[in-house]
Amino acid sequence: MLQHAGGAPIDYVEPWRATLYERRRSLVTRSRHIAYIYERPDSSTFRYRVFNMVEALAAQPDLDISAAWFTLDEAGHDLSFIDRAHAVVICRTRYDNVVARIVARAHARATPVIFDVDDLIFDSDYTHLITETLDVNVRGNEDWDYWFAYIARLGATLRACDAAIGTNVFLAERIAAFAPWLPVSVIPNFLNRQQTEVSRTLVGRKRATDFRRDGLLHIGYFSGTPTHNRDLLIASPALAASFERFPHLRLRIVGFIELNAYLQPYGDRIEIHPLQDYLNLQRLTAEVELSMVPLQDNDFTSCKSELKYFEAGVVGVPTVASPSYTLARAITDGGNGFLSGSHEWADKIAQAVALVEDDPTAYRVMAECVVADSESRYAWNDQAQGIATAVFG
């Protein structure tokens, strides 16, 4: 493990605490106004696709665009903020009477409405694939009714809009196939300001000790939710073989994951941490030497963004990943990480371990490469023009 990389837990306060009054004011501080709509704030989709967007726009006053976010519940009580918007972005929100009113009010003022989505979660033709990939136990009619309704309602919101935004080209193509009359743009996921600042501090600690390590080597698996059980299973036989081959190897898991039969015998070499806020996740990530992102190979996972790569990369941790659509475009095998086919995990883990153990200079070069790449391609203060183009053309 990298010594002194993470340090003590970070005091975390959710940054999306602005009152409705404050947000209504911030919407109109510049010449053009974007109102973002989401069901309710959370640390996943809302953070990436709403909060980060608003923050990125605020960082670029030259574009003269102000933005603010509003919840579906707030919109249900008062829609007057729509009248001040020059564009409305509805992010991954299920269709209901409030969504219908938002769209109708915006259209009455000739205000474009754009749907933003970060997953292949709007086309009910993919329901079975989605539930299989997420390892959801769909037992009977009630479960099927929930999933078909959830997905179809998102699709209904998408089709009610005038344009759409996805996180990568593959997802954009699926959106276009589902609603071929809509123009579709791509805005990638990216870091936010606080996440970047904390990560720079963490990397600074590693540099100050010249990436000094203790006698163990940790691979991190930052899963988040039990829906990644099947993803972890892809690499688990290789992990078991690696535990046998490398006695000093440890696995750090953050999130809700059940240890499968391959990993259970090595439970004493596996750390499991509860789900973290996004700043302390950076802290726990910074302490490991390598990160791993095994993914199933299908249309649903191809729509996933590369956030696991750059969130580890920005704290100087190279990733061993499945070659999904976005990860294969973010990672150059052997350059800024490792790409592993489903049959290659044991070999790729061994290559990564050898880099760390046998060539620490080359490992530091790769670590610095992923820091630079993550900060340059996914910088929070370098995204506003892309947002403006996607929203206003």
Residue 371 pLDDT: 98
Same fold flag, 31-190+381-392 and 193-377: yes
- Residue 1 confidence (pLDDT): 73
Q: Residue 2: its pLDDT value, please?
A: 72
pLDDT of residue 215: 87
Tell me, what's the pLDDT at 228?
85
CATH of span 31-190+381-392: 3.40.50.2000
Proportion of the chain above pLDDT 90, given as a percent = 93
How many angstroms separate the CA atoms of 117 and 90, rounded?
Answer: 9
Q: How far is CA 224 from CA 186, 276, 311, 341, 377, in A?
A: 25, 8, 13, 23, 24
The model's pTM is 0.96
Environment class of 46 (CB within 10 Å of its CB; exposed 0-12, middle 13-18, buried 19+): buried
CA distance 12 to 4: 20
CA atoms within 13 A on the CB side of 121: 21
Question: Rounded CA gap, 299 and 292, in Å?
Answer: 20
| Strand ranges (E), the chain | 32-38, 65-71, 87-91, 113-116, 163-166, 184-186, 217-224, 249-255, 270-273, 290-293, 319-321, 338-339
Which pair of tokens denotes residue 353? 């371990």
pLDDT for res 3: 66
Into which CATH architecture does domain 193-377 fall?
3-Layer(aba) Sandwich (3.40)
What is the residue extent of each domain of the chain? 31-190+381-392, 193-377
Q: So what's the pLDDT on residue 4?
A: 62
State the pLDDT at residue 223.
80
| Helix, strand or coil, per DSSP, at residue 166 | strand
3-state secondary structure of 171: helix
Closest CA to 317 of 344, 275, 278, 283: 283
List the chain residues with pLDDT less than 50.
none
Q: What Cα–Cα distance (Å) separates residue 266 from each residue in 24, 94, 242, 388?
A: 53, 42, 11, 50
DSSP one-letter code for 248:
T
Beta-carbon count within 10 A of 334 CB = 14
